[in-house]
Amino acid sequence: MDLRDSVEQYLTDLGAAITYPFETWRGTIGLVAVAAATYVLLLLSTMPAFSLQMLGDGLYWFEYVLVSLTETVYRTDGWTGLAVVVLYALLSGIAVVNAVAQFRFVGPSRLADLTGIVPGLLASGCASCGAGLLGFLGFAGGLAALPYDGALIRIGGLVLLLFFLGRAGHPERCAIPTEGGK
């Protein structure tokens, strides 16, 4: 198999992995739920002290916090920054739905294909500070010292998610080619 065939197979597998959650209502609902939860978590991680203070006073502040932090991300990095957060949330939803399906169909043996998602989740991108979930782990200061305010880490997280989704492919199909074909 030459490089061109490898790239074509990878892109085919990536397309299959991305479209898998939309094959059933259950997968689509799972994708939306995980993507929404990831979006909220990424937004809350942009300003953890603000989030904890406001939500500590009562959950009735949740809508205000969500709108304020979305506006902060937009005002800080514009549409590009907000798009990175949304894209990251969608890819995270796809990755989780695929991991659950893969576990259900083939057991834990092939879940090693999706282990690369963990670094992407940890290095993910809150668009305003670059810290993502690492901010909750205490690494926000180190990421703030990186060039371009950690934008390369955010892009790296997205690339890792795309790479390992393409490597894993469709959760219900065998990734090992047969003798007679692909």
Helix boundaries (H) for 24-173? 25-46, 48-57, 62-106, 117-122, 140-144, 151-168
Per-residue confidence (pLDDT) for residue 123, from 0 to 100: 46
Do the domain assignments include residue 138?
yes
pLDDT band of residue 145 (cuts 50, 70, 90) is low
Indicate if the pLDDT at residue 182 is higher than 80: no
| Of the listed ranges 51-65, 75-89, 113-127, the one predicted with least confidence | 113-127
Do the domain assignments include residue 181?
no
Instruction: Please state the domain count of the chain.
Output: 1
- In tens, the pLDDT along 94-129 reads 988 888 887 787 666 655 555 555 554 544 444 334
Percent of the chain exceeding pLDDT 70 equals 68
- In tens, the pLDDT along 6-37 reads 888 889 988 998 999 999 999 999 999 999 99
Q: Which domain holds residue 53?
A: 3-168
Do the domain assignments include residue 176?
no
Do the domain assignments include residue 178?
no
Per-residue confidence (pLDDT) for residue 71, from 0 to 100: 93
- Answer whether 125's CB lies under 8 Å from 88's CB: yes
Per-residue confidence (pLDDT) for residue 66, from 0 to 100: 93
Per-residue confidence (pLDDT) for residue 24, from 0 to 100: 92
Instruction: Compute the mean pLDDT over every residue in the chain, rounded to the nearest whole number.
Output: 76
Do the domain assignments include residue 7?
yes
Residues 147 and 156: their CA atoms lie apart, in Å, by 13
Which residue bears the tokens 């085919």?
Answer: 12
Do the domain assignments include residue 49?
yes
- Answer whether 136's CB lies under 8 Å from 48's CB: yes
Q: b or e along 101-112 (b: 16 or more beta carbons within 10 Å of the residue's beta carbon)?
A: bbeeebeeebee
Residues 55 and 60: their CA atoms lie apart, in Å, by 8
Per-residue confidence (pLDDT) for residue 35, from 0 to 100: 93
Do the domain assignments include residue 161?
yes
| pTM of the shown model | 0.74
Mean pLDDT of 133-149: 56
